[in-house]
Amino acid sequence: MKNQLEELSNPERFHSPIGIKDFPTDTLIEMFELMMTIRKTEQRLALGRKDGLIGGPVHLGVGQEAIAVGISEYLRKTDRVFGAHRSHAHLLALNPDFYRLFAEVLGKKTGFSKGMGGSMHLWNQPSGFYGSVPIVAGTVSLAVGAAMAAKLQKTGDIGVAYIGDGAVEEGVVHESFNLAKIQNAPMLFVIENNLFASHMHISLRQPNNMIARFAVANEIPYELVDGNDVVAVAQASKRLINDIRAGKGPRLIELVTYRWYGHVDWRDDVDVGVKRSLDDIDNWKARDPIARLSKAMIKANIWSAEQQEALEVKLDRNIRSAWDKAMNDSYPSSDSTLKYVYAAT
Give residues in contact with another protein (CB under 8 A).
80, 82, 111, 113-117, 121-123, 125, 130-131, 133, 135, 138-150, 152-153, 159, 171-172, 175-176, 178-179, 182-183, 332, 336, 339-345
Distance (Å, whole) CA 249 – CA 144: 11
* Shortest Cβ 104–another protein spacing (Å): 9
Least distance in angstroms from the C-beta of 310 to another protein? 36
Nearer to another protein, 116 or 302 (CB): 116
Nearer to another protein, 20 or 84 (CB): 84
Q: Which CB, 153 or 242, lies closer to another protein? A: 153
> How far apart are CB 221 and another protein at their closest, in Å?
20
Q: How far apart are the first and last CA of the chain?
A: 54
> Smaller CB distance to another protein: residue 104 or 223?
104
Closest CA to 30 of 311, 248, 310, 252: 311
Task: Label residue 196 exposed, middle or buried (CB < 10 Å: 0-12, 13-18, 19+).
Answer: buried
The 3-class secondary structure across 92-103, one letter per residue, is HCCCCCHHHHHH
Residue 279, beta-bridge partner list: none
> What is the smallest separation between the CB atom of 172 and another protein, expressed in angstroms?
5
Tell me the one-letter amino acid at 233: V
Rounded least distance, CB 103 to another protein, Å: 11
User: Which residue lies nearer to another protein by CB, 182 or 272?
Assistant: 182
Task: Please name every residue paired with 256 in a beta bridge, in sequence order, or none if there are none.
Answer: 193, 226
- d(C-alpha 166, C-alpha 163), whole Å: 8
